[in-house]
Chain A
């Protein structure tokens, strides 16, 4: 299945006549009237086989009275995404929810409602998701200003050259940096959103078989819980030990990365992307660089392309080692397997440090290339790593995959069907473990992945064990790509043009995406020709993969929920952004 031809989506394809092409310079895709968006999605799904709604977002075009809803549709057989937009007014922004057609829109629409204030009619559970119920305003709107607001965009003139040094705490003392809606008193406020949340969950009361009345109970797993890999909360309704319903609650690590991104310069965002999924900084850099390069219309030189692929694949290895290690942690193999994985990761991090200067927060990619070359010593390091890794992978596999404890706990648990995975917009290992051979490196190729000989890994059961095995398979494929890349890498410059500290990016929009280790990582950017992006949206793979969590957990035991979450492989830096 891996050598499936990719279908060009928009070339020569026609849609209904009320799909008007977006002809603004720098823009692409189609515009449909807001009231017909649902109809359009139905048409695309049933007639045109766009079965995945990859990304749902909105952009505020203040001071114009316009909010644009931006949808990216994909086909699970491959090809470019189809971008469809709807224009809404800022005052009364309302649009039909697409959750009934694409369940994968659920969390994304909640995010758009929370941050952009677009109301989705017929959404089953439209609550705020990243901020808290009672938060004043919708922060991604351009006229929303944070407390201690300085200026619209960086560099803030208030800091230089007249500015004397002011400590950040003095400006932003703890406990005094929140703003409340009118008439809101935090001291007397009783949060009712938890009640709403609990009531929204399927409630089943039943009489016990032996004549006793039994009831279901609500259990909160997290936010402070070692199994949740960060501050993440799962609200589960349990019948005995069996999960009847489950809802993820997130936002505890929310810092509005997107608003920060819109204040920052294009270049200044690069180190911030490291902090999204802090295990895979290089992949994040890669996706963002691709998005900006599309706008700038520059291409990196040959050598830089190879270096990028090397870095992206090493990141994939790092991520899968960590993910599998911590999954075993969740299974109860406390910290022994994960430390064996981390040992191997250590070598790769040393290599990152030697090349980029930092082990995790690499900040290595630039628009049109990379910061610096891989020198000879580092290349030797890389070759030694590639020599060691396959050997160690065999060892890890021998220890773990045959282990009956792993098999008993993981096989047949947390099953996700391919239909559900596609409907939930899942991507990455979560999707491929269900038997859908969908990998952007082949389905919608970018960079120079078409030159390498590798297989798209796929497994067919969709359970925890398959996701675990799939990650091991992918490490082997990554090693395969790396060996080819190291062999073929040409000499030459690593950046196109002169490095500039303030890039002027032509007006337009772009969507740059990579097959990150965790799934499709995309950056949707809107530029107005200034030094800062007007809209900066991150399509975070783990955030959207969490849509599948409830379905996978229902019917399983509460102890398995922990491993199911571990097998999705979330990083809260990215989920909460």
Chain B
């Protein structure tokens, strides 16, 4: 009673406040805007300040981090070839159904061609659940790591079409090296099995 509780409470806050500076002094220059400094802030050893100075400092995202999906394309001799076959599984599995696909048709025969003529994702609706990437049988649609997609006019910019969605395989390999490696192994094994079956 008699306000002792308030004093005790304030002393805790003060202790934390001082501790932050002590921690900063101890760690010197490496504490800010360096990878070590950020790694320290994510480690359970941390005692001082928790916050990072975004956008100068950014927390690294883990490999499985998911944001808006993107379409993977292969670069073969300078030509972009989307892996997407416009089978439509992603648009069927999408819970809010934000994916719109129009299948290409051959202009001469009128028959459908397994590549999308239009592929649109309404990112205002997309809930970043990752089901499209999970159930795509061709590894053609993947979840991106780029979370800085703010724009000035959402009516103009927030419906992503192929030109905005398509990204090279090399980009995919760079953001998700672990997954990429596993998938490439499976693809190589499948190709080998196919070749083996063809040669016999």
| Least CB distance, A282 to chain B, in whole angstroms | 14
| Least CB distance, A163 to chain B, in whole angstroms | 6
Determine whether A343 belongs to the interface, using a CB cutoff of 8 Å to chain B.
Answer: yes
Which residues of chain B from 1 to 21 have a CB within 8 Å of any chain A CB?
1, 4-6, 8-9, 12-13, 16
Q: Answer whether A501 and B99 are a contact pair too, CB < 8 Å, given A160-B91, A353-B64.
A: no
Determine whether B50 belongs to the interface, using a CB cutoff of 8 Å to chain A.
Answer: yes
Determine whether B131 belongs to the interface, using a CB cutoff of 8 Å to chain A.
Answer: yes
Which of these binds chain A: B30-38, B122-130, B163-171, B192-200? Answer: B122-130
Is the CB–CB distance between B135 and A499 below 8 Å? yes
With A and B bound together, what is the CA distance between A50 and B93 in angstroms?
A: 42
Residue-wise interface mask of B (149-168) relative to A, using a CB-CB cutoff of 8 A (1 in contact, 0 not): 00000010001000000000
Q: Answer whether A160 and B100 are a contact pair too, CB < 8 Å, given A165-B122, A267-B131, A399-B12.
A: yes
Residue-wise interface mask of B (29-52) relative to A, using a CB-CB cutoff of 8 A (1 in contact, 0 not): 000000000000011100000100
| Least CB distance, B39 to chain A, in whole angstroms | 12
With A and B bound together, what is the CA distance between A350 and B143 in angstroms?
A: 18
Most buried by A among B12, B120, B135: B12
Q: Answer whether A358 and B128 are a contact pair too, CB < 8 Å, given A271-B95, A346-B50, A385-B44.
A: yes
With A and B bound together, what is the CA distance between A388 and B44 in angstroms?
A: 7
Is the CB–CB distance between B65 and A268 below 8 Å? no
In the assembled complex, which residues on chain B have CB atoms less than 8 Å from the CB atom of A86? none
Determine whether B103 belongs to the interface, using a CB cutoff of 8 Å to chain A.
Answer: yes
Determine whether A410 belongs to the interface, using a CB cutoff of 8 Å to chain B.
Answer: no
Is the CB–CB distance between B131 and A501 below 8 Å? yes
Determine whether A134 belongs to the interface, using a CB cutoff of 8 Å to chain B.
Answer: no
With A and B bound together, what is the CA distance between A169 and B125 in angstroms?
A: 10
In the assembled complex, which residues on chain B have CB atoms less than 8 Å from the CB atom of A388? 44
Most buried by B among A155, A164, A399: A155
Determine whether A356 belongs to the interface, using a CB cutoff of 8 Å to chain B.
Answer: yes
Interface SS of chain B: helix, strand, loop or mixed?
mixed
In the assembled complex, which residues on chain B have CB atoms less than 8 Å from the CB atom of A491? none
In the assembled complex, which residues on chain B have CB atoms less than 8 Å from the CB atom of A154? 95, 97
In the assembled complex, which residues on chain B have CB atoms less than 8 Å from the CB atom of A346? 50
| Least CB distance, A377 to chain B, in whole angstroms | 8
In the assembled complex, which residues on chain B have CB atoms less than 8 Å from the CB atom of A375? 178
| Least CB distance, A73 to chain B, in whole angstroms | 34
| Residue from A167, A267, A405 in contact with B93 in the complex, judged by beta carbons closer than 8 Å | A267
| Least CB distance, B68 to chain A, in whole angstroms | 13
Is the CB–CB distance between B92 and A168 below 8 Å? no
In the assembled complex, which residues on chain A have CB atoms less than 8 Å from the CB atom of B100? 159-160, 163-165
In the assembled complex, which residues on chain A have CB atoms less than 8 Å from the CB atom of B83? none
Residue-wise interface mask of A (489-521) relative to B, using a CB-CB cutoff of 8 A (1 in contact, 0 not): 000000000010110000000000000000000
In the assembled complex, which residues on chain A have CB atoms less than 8 Å from the CB atom of B9? 333, 336, 399, 403, 405
| Residue from A269, A499, A501 in contact with B92 in the complex, judged by beta carbons closer than 8 Å | A501
Determine whether A61 belongs to the interface, using a CB cutoff of 8 Å to chain B.
Answer: no
| Residue from A159, A350, A363 in contact with B130 in the complex, judged by beta carbons closer than 8 Å | A363
Is the CB–CB distance between A343 and B50 below 8 Å? yes
Is the CB–CB distance between B102 and A164 below 8 Å? yes
Is the CB–CB distance between A357 and B66 below 8 Å? yes
In the assembled complex, which residues on chain B have CB atoms less than 8 Å from the CB atom of A333? 9
Is the CB–CB distance between B159 and A167 below 8 Å? yes
In the assembled complex, which residues on chain A have CB atoms less than 8 Å from the CB atom of B92? 155, 160, 501-502
Which residues of chain B from 87 to 105 have a CB within 8 Å of any chain A CB?
88-89, 91-95, 97, 99-103
Determine whether A449 belongs to the interface, using a CB cutoff of 8 Å to chain B.
Answer: no
With A and B bound together, what is the CA distance between A358 and B133 in angstroms?
A: 14
Determine whether B61 belongs to the interface, using a CB cutoff of 8 Å to chain A.
Answer: yes
Is the CB–CB distance between A357 and B130 below 8 Å? yes
With A and B bound together, what is the CA distance between A527 and B85 in angstroms?
A: 33
In the assembled complex, which residues on chain A have CB atoms less than 8 Å from the CB atom of B77? none
In the assembled complex, which residues on chain A have CB atoms less than 8 Å from the CB atom of B16? 340
5 A-B pairs within 8 Å (CB atoms) are namely A155-B94, A160-B92, A165-B100, A167-B155, A343-B50
Residue positions of B touching A, CB distance < 8 A: 1, 4-6, 8-9, 12-13, 16, 42-44, 50, 61-66, 86, 88-89, 91-95, 97, 99-103, 118, 120, 122, 124-125, 127-131, 134-135, 143, 155, 159, 178
With A162-B102, A499-B135 already in contact, 13 other A-B pairs whose C-beta atoms are closer than 8 Å? A154-B97, A165-B100, A264-B95, A267-B131, A268-B94, A336-B12, A354-B64, A357-B64, A357-B65, A363-B129, A399-B9, A403-B9, A501-B89
- What 9 pairs across the A-B complex have the smallest Cβ distances? A271-B129, A268-B95, A404-B5, A357-B66, A354-B62, A501-B135, A165-B120, A388-B44, A357-B64
